[in-house]
Copies of this chain bind each other. A is one copy, B any other.
Amino acid sequence: PDEAAVEAVRLRERQLTKPAGSLGRLEWLVEWLAAWQGKAPPTVDRPLVCVFAGSHGVTAKGVSAYPSDVNRQMLENFAAGGAAINQICASLGLGFKVFDLALDMPTNDITEREAMDERSCVATMAFGMEAIAGGTDLLAIGEMGIGNTTVAAAIYAALYGGPAEHWVGRGTGVDDEGFRRKVAAVEAAIARHREHLNDPLETLSRLGGREVAAMAGAILAARLQKIPVVLDGYVATAAAAILHAIHPSTIDHCVAGHLSAEGAHQDVLARLGKIPLLALGMRLGEGSGAALAVGLIKSAAAIHRDMATFAQAGVSERLA
């Protein structure tokens, strides 16, 4: 983090025509942007929402309320501008890109074998790193992939232990039987790979999915390119959790965009030390919660950049 940029932000912040600290987390967000962009004032001129789409062999175990055909259909819906995330990006002026991570080649069923071999996992991370090469000053990462809340739950169970029931949620809306199938799938995956879950990167390649690997790559690349990152919900946070398990500081440039309604997200965010910006009971994915949070951050940056100082506006400062 660029401490000089943070100091410059604080210096300006004290001169703006408002009581010190009165914008709460908005002020903190500007310091965070400056710290990781390495400049003051920071900018949110080219915010970008990237959605990574993956396909999961574990859907064979009946873990989702939707068929895997939806992956390809939703990609077309994104391209046609018909999904929720398209409307959020349009209403807030955010760039939007979708990445197809070999949707027609699902990962292996993790209850039976490893999702990807290590080579494929690394290649997918590299693909995710390339994804942001077009340039942005604030990156929101999200995902789409039928079955991927099961994969995220397996990753959390591997990283943090505890019963599968704690980590499994209703996803897109499975019924009680579907929920039990998800729990069983997570238990089977953990049992199957138990001997190989000590290394976070091996956990990633064994449990998947491709979108989680790509998001992990994108988070790392953003750090190197001085781009702060806004995490979406339960599945996107799994990519951050893998990196955090390697070393906690690897995700210092990330904020949690929102608290997902997928139950265990609160526990995960607490373990990562992240306080979500929004808590609206959303559980859609597609980067939707992160994108709404980018709207807040954009306003925070505009406030910091464009407000008048006490001197400029001729406003009296506080009484001595």
Contact = CB atoms under 8 A, between A and B. Distances in A.
Contact of A284 (B22, B67, B281, B284): B22
A303 interface: yes
A312 B312 CA distance: 53
Interface string A217-244: 0000000000000000000000000000
B70 A315 contact: yes
A299 B292 contact: yes
A280 B282 CA distance: 18
Interface string A1-34: 0000000000000001111111111100000000
A16 B26 CA distance: 33
Interface string A62-84: 00111101100110110011111
Contact of A82 (B17, B24, B280, B299): B17
B172 A24 contact: no
Interface size class of A (residues with CB under 8 A): 35 or more
Nearest to A304: B87
A64 B19 CA distance: 11
B302 A87 contact: yes
B87 A24 contact: no
Nearest to A278: B278
A206 interface: no
Given A292-B296, A316-B67, A302 B88 contact: yes
Residue in A64, A91, A173 whose Cβ sees the most chain B Cβ within 10 Å: A91
A307 B65 contact: no
Contacts of A92: 295, 299
Nearest to A22: B284
A83 B306 CA distance: 8
A65 B318 CA distance: 5
16 contacts: A21-B173, A23-B280, A23-B288, A24-B281, A24-B282, A24-B283, A25-B282, A69-B316, A73-B314, A73-B316, A77-B315, A80-B308, A83-B307, A88-B303, A277-B280, A279-B279
Pairs A-B, 9 closest by C-beta atoms: A24-B281, A82-B308, A19-B172, A22-B284, A91-B302, A73-B315, A25-B280, A77-B313, A87-B303
